[in-house]
Amino acid sequence: MIEKNTKITQLQLGASNLISEDTWRLLFKTLGPQLQSLKLSELNDSFNDETVQEMTQHCGQLQRLKLRTCLKLDEPSLKSISSMTTLEHLTLAVG
């Protein structure tokens, strides 16, 4: 699915706990360069600090980021997100 939808600029996923770490990385590598808005909620083990680092490396055009109830995010995620210079809107509710 990811390879067939490379024109997506906005993505919103909730309770996507069946997505593996490898799939998150593939998603960010494939769609990341054109993503402008990303809203993720209710994620557990597979979306962690390392995944956020991948996101920040590949999503250089991201203007809006919303992370809610992502249980495995900690200070390294905040440091990675703070390096994103294109962000205009940020919502974090990670606990």
Q: What is the pLDDT along the chain (95 residues), one digit of tens a residue?
A: 555 656 889 999 988 878 888 999 999 999 999 999 999 988 877 789 999 999 999 999 999 999 988 888 889 999 999 999 999 999 998 66
Task: State both tokens at 33.
Answer: 């360069």
**Rg value, the chain, Cα:** 12
Rounded-to-integer distance, Cα 48 and Cα 10, Å: 21
Rounded-to-integer distance, Cα 95 and Cα 77, Å: 13
